[in-house]
Amino acid sequence: MSEVGTTYVPIDKIRIRRRPTASVAVIGNPNSGKSTLFNRLTGLRQTTGNYPGVTVEKHSGTVQLSESALELVDLPGIYCLGGFSSDERIAIDVLLGRVEGTPGPDGLLIVLDATHLYQGLYLMQQLMEIQLPMVVAMTMSDVATASGIDISIEVLQRHVGGIPIYPVVATTGRGLDALKEALEGIADTPAPAIPESWPELSSTADQLVGSTEGVLSRIDIIHALIHPDGQRAEMLAKHLGHQAVDKVRRELFADEPPQACEARHRYSWVNNVLEEAQRKAPAIDRVGASSLRWLNRPWPATILFFAVMALVFQAVFSWATPMMDAIDTGASLLSNQVSDMLPAGAVSSFITDGVIAGVGSVLIFLPQILILFLFIILLEDSGFLARAAFLMDRIMRTVGLSGQSVIPMLSSFACAVPAIMATRVIPNRRDRIATILAAPFMTCSARLPVYALLIAAFVPDRSVGWLNLQGLVLLGLYLLGIVGGLTTAWILKRSALRGPKPQFALALPEFRLPNLQTVLIKLMERARIFLKRAGTVIFLVAILVWGLAYFPRSAEIQTDLKTAVMQAESTMSGDQLLAEVNELENTAAAEQLAQSYLGRSGRFIEPVFAPLGWDWRVSAAVIAGFPAREVVVAVMGTIYAVGDEADEASLTEKLRSASWPDGRPIFTVPMVLGLLLFYAWCLQCAATIATIRRETNSWRWPVFAWAYMTTIGYVGALLIYQLGSLV
């Protein structure tokens, strides 16, 4: 060490950040504790990206070892390298180095759950065929011991070709040092011997390697044979001819599905291994397990599910309110500060009504989204979500979907954007798209302010039996969304997305306490993705709507305003003056909006919406709401000259007295009900459209969803208004 420095740091406190020298893929079954181990090894040195062309997130991080560092790539939890879901397809492609921009790994870290060796060894066997250096981390060995499972690591190691196996407890960090030591030299370890579970397949693959001139490797050929509809199968057919490949397949699989034959061979190997390596004592019931068992019975489990969901919604809406109010207040305080500092004009308006309001309208969603995400992650990691899918499968089947569509639909009650991203677990593309198109119908948090305003203004506050009429209408709107979404899925599954019934084979994990670090890392990541995906769109939309409502600016109105204010100042004083000036300013703002691009388009489009009973002001507000429905209340506030931050009471009053030129009221009961239905069904959210585009990888579905939802919203509102006005 140099002697120049004045402070000395003890040598063991110096942390050297090494650059990773090799890349290791972390792979294992779902719920095997893989994420917890990955987080434990990499800490917060993680990055998240995307694999090109697919919507599977790419997690990677660096693990610092004593001599070097490794890049760890966390692959999705899977049961086999089968290609049932996009997760499985991406896993095999990454492992074989077939993903653009992601070189193949130098080694594998396999996470094997000691309590589920049966399914774990199945995947491990497939991974051994890839012929990469491997290290196994055996998680949950403490749980296994506690439940009477005795595993001989030596025997197991012998059966898996000598791959080093390290028991770890990821939550406490036990065993991690030994594991890290083993990872240090992983790139130079020889690949394990291939297990002799299916000699015929092995020898066939070995023979075929020669005949494809080295274009396809042994593992490529095995995959090509077992998965006849994959890319590798095509390449194999190109080299050997379709007939030859078919003949090989017939010899190997007879007329059974190849993966069924594979399962038989591989599980018989797994059974042999387990017979020697694992001894099971008579099952010792863990404390409390049997007393909780009744909760899994059909009715208690279903009731518990609804109770938990009620609690989640309660939390999402009631816990978030104070935070949302604080954000709202903060944004308007900041706006006032800025407008006091800057001279009135386009710049000031841009910063306050454009930028600050835009950022505010993104942040306002964060509390609800974070609370919802927190619950979903907790439910997911505790094993509850898989149970929910199991319990709800029957109901979802009636509309042609499966239990796996339940979770995205539930998330959609807060926001459709994360809901659409959550459809990735649905293996079948048709079912996934049907779910994606149903999700935006659910009443999201952005619809609530509009519902609240119109209901408070036009639905009488009286009781019907022991229920409140306003509450009933709100409940009705929620149901309207659910019915709209499910009917849409039902129609689509019988028309454009017709196909075989969705399959539902799901592993049901045991209830487990979620790991805090894993939950927090996941929460941060989902919040970041939401801000990046939805936040940018919502912000840009807010700026755009501001521009449309601000320009062109009439100088005349501003001059008239100045004159009127001066006049008022000379005749009035005190509170009276303040009220008068406020009134004058609001009227001027309304006049400005009336002749802005937004106001003009409202007038232009008025004939289209006139059959629904809307005047140009409602039309303009609806147009402003198309890219983001939550701006509607603010636009209505400005357009009815009560200011964009008016309290609801004064806006309500204005809406009630708004009338057509001939004096008829605009907001009649049929018109309001139609408007509410329009809001319930219409896809007024650019962030959702962008997300559908991303997740379906085409413009076809977002365009369809927009046109379809707008049409039924319009037709529904038209019918209600026209029929209602007859009565």
Partner 1 sequence: MTLKELHPGQSARIDEIDARQPGVVRLMVLGLIEGAEVQFENSAIGGDPMEVTVHGAAISIRKQQADCFRISPIGSNV
Point out which residues bind partner 1 (CB under 8 A): 79-80, 82, 84, 115-119, 122, 255-257, 259-260, 263-264, 267-268, 271, 274, 296-299, 301-302, 386, 389-394, 403, 500-501, 503-510
Give the residue with the Cβ less far from partner 1, 39 or 435: 435
Give the residue with the Cβ less far from partner 1, 390 or 413: 390
Structure tokens at 414: 């807060």
Minimum CB distance to partner 1, residue 174 (Å): 23
What are the b/e assignments for 378-397, b being 16+ CB within 10 Å?
bbbbbebbbbbbbbbbeebe
Minimum CB distance to partner 1, residue 518 (Å): 21
Question: How big is the chain, counted in residues?
Answer: 727
Structure tokens at 719: 């019918």
Structure tokens at 484: 């709209």
Give the residue with the Cβ less far from partner 1, 40 or 387: 387
Give the residue with the Cβ less far from partner 1, 60 or 119: 119
Give the residue with the Cβ less far from partner 1, 201 or 561: 201
Give the residue with the Cβ less far from partner 1, 195 or 602: 195
What is the end-to-end Cα distance of the chain in Å, rounded? 92
In this structure, the number of other CB atoms found within 10 A of the CB of residue 642 comes to 24
Instruction: Tell me how far apart the alpha carbons of residues 571 and 587 are, in angstroms, rounded to a whole number.
Output: 19
Minimum CB distance to partner 1, residue 311 (Å): 21
Minimum CB distance to partner 1, residue 262 (Å): 8
Specify whether the CB–CB gap between 135 and 186 falls below 8 A. yes
Minimum CB distance to partner 1, residue 281 (Å): 13
Specify whether the CB–CB gap between 544 and 415 falls below 8 A. no
Q: Which residues contact 303 (CB under 8 A, 6 or more apart)?
A: none
Q: At what angle do helices 242-253 and 258-277 cross, to 10 degrees?
A: 40
Taking only Cα atoms into account, the Rg of the chain, rounded to an integer number of angstroms, comes to 31
- For 185, the 3-state DSSP assignment is coil
Give the residue with the Cβ less far from partner 1, 280 or 562: 280
Q: Which of 267, 236, 264 is nearest to 252 (CA)?
A: 264
Q: Say which amino acid occupies 616.
A: W
The secondary structure of residue 653, as a DSSP letter, is H
Burial (Cβ within 10 Å: 0-12, 13-18, ≥19) of residue 452: middle
Q: What are phi and psi of 458, to 5 degrees?
A: -125, -10
Partner residues linked to 149 by β-bridges: 280
Partner residues linked to 70 by β-bridges: 22, 63
Structure tokens at 680: 């319930």
Q: Say which amino acid occupies 363.
A: L
Minimum CB distance to partner 1, residue 159 (Å): 16
Minimum CB distance to partner 1, residue 400 (Å): 14
Instruction: Tell me how far apart the alpha carbons of residues 433 and 489 are, in angstroms, rounded to a whole number.
Output: 9
Minimum CB distance to partner 1, residue 133 (Å): 26
Give the residue with the Cβ less far from partner 1, 234 or 510: 510
Q: Say which amino acid occupies 454.
A: L
Instruction: Tell me how far apart the alpha carbons of residues 29 and 120 are, in angstroms, rounded to a whole number.
Output: 6
Instruction: Tell me how far apart the alpha carbons of residues 202 and 218 are, in angstroms, rounded to a whole number.
Output: 9
In this structure, the number of other CB atoms found within 10 A of the CB of residue 616 comes to 20
Q: Which residues contact 727 (CB under 8 A, 6 or more apart)?
A: 670
Specify whether the CB–CB gap between 428 and 502 falls below 8 A. yes
Minimum CB distance to partner 1, residue 439 (Å): 22
Instruction: Tell me how far apart the alpha carbons of residues 223 and 92 are, in angstroms, rounded to a whole number.
Output: 10
Minimum CB distance to partner 1, residue 289 (Å): 12
Give the residue with the Cβ less far from partner 1, 242 or 501: 501
Minimum CB distance to partner 1, residue 127 (Å): 14
Minimum CB distance to partner 1, residue 267 (Å): 5
Instruction: Tell me how far apart the alpha carbons of residues 87 and 523 are, in angstroms, rounded to a whole number.
Output: 20
Instruction: Tell me how far apart the alpha carbons of residues 60 and 75 are, in angstroms, rounded to a whole number.
Output: 9
Minimum CB distance to partner 1, residue 402 (Å): 9
Minimum CB distance to partner 1, residue 40 (Å): 24
Structure tokens at 710: 């707008």
